[in-house]
Amino acid sequence: MFEMFEIVLIIAILWISSFIVGHIVFGIDLGPFKTPVMILAFVGVVFHELAHAAMSLLVGSKPREFHVSYRSRFSSEPSPQGKVRIETRNLTFLQAALIGLAPAILSTWLFLFSLEVALTETVAPFTRIACALLCVSIWLALAPSKQDLWITRYYFGKNPRYSLYQISLLVGSGIIVWYSLFAFGVSLPIDILFYIMVGIGYYALKYGLIGARMGISKFLSRNPFKLRDLAKSPAKAKRKRFKPSKPEKIGQKRAQW
C-alpha cells in the first residue's frame, strides 16, 4: 500500500507529466500515429469527465449535463474534449475543489490499479495489454483543465474564511487518520479506504465542534454569574461597593455627634 505522502508525490508527478505531454501531443503533427493517440486520449477524456460526474454525485451536487466529443466543434480534426455541467447552487469550496480535482483522486487510483494489473505476470496477456493502454489513456487526460482550476479558485474567493475552515478540518482529519494508522500499525488493504476514513473524520470533527459550541453556549446562557458578560467586559463582573449618600443630599440634617 502506498503511503499518504507517496500518493501525493505520485499525483503531482502524474499531473505535471500529463500537462506537459498533453500540450506536446496536441501541438505537433503525429503523422500516422495521430489517430491511435487521439483514440487513447478520447478514452482518457471519458474517464476524466466521468470522474467529475461521479464526484459531483458523491458531494451532493447533481450533474445536469454530460458531453464528450472526439472531434472539435470548430473543425473536423480529432480533438477529444468534454464537459460536465453541475448544480452550483449553495456549493461550498470543498465541494467545488473535490469536483474540480476529481481526476486527481479517482482517475489516479484507477491508473495505479491498472498499472499494477499490467505489471502482474500472473494476469492474462490480453488483460495486461488492455490495462497498459488504459493507463496511457488516463495519463493523457489526467491534468486538470483551466475550468477545473478556475471553479476551485472561484468558490474559495466567495467565502475565504469558511474555505480555510474547511481546509483546516480536512487537514486535521488527514493528520489524525494517518497518525492513528501509523501508531497502531494498521495496514489498509486498498488505499481508497484512507480517503473514506478522512471523509468520516472530517464530518466527525465538524459536528464535534458544532456540538461543543452549542454546549458551551447553553452552559453560558444558564450560568447565574453571566460568564459571557465577564468574557466580554471583566469590569461588569466586579462587585459594586455601597457608598451612602450625604444627609444633606437627601434632605436630612446631619446628626450632632
Which residues make Cβ contacts (< 8 Å) with residue 174, sequence separation at least 6? 4, 198, 201
Tens of pLDDT, residues 134-167: 999 998 888 888 888 888 899 999 999 999 999 9
Higher pLDDT, 245 or 60: 60
Q: At what angle do helices 34-58 and 125-140 cross, to 10 degrees?
A: 80
User: Which residue type does 227 have?
Assistant: L
Q: What is the pTM of this model?
A: 0.74
37 in Cβ contact with 133 (< 8 Å):
no
Q: Residues 38-55: pLDDT tens digits?
A: 899 899 999 999 999 999
More confident residue, 24 or 183: 183
- pLDDT confidence tier of residue 94, bands split at 50, 70 and 90: very high
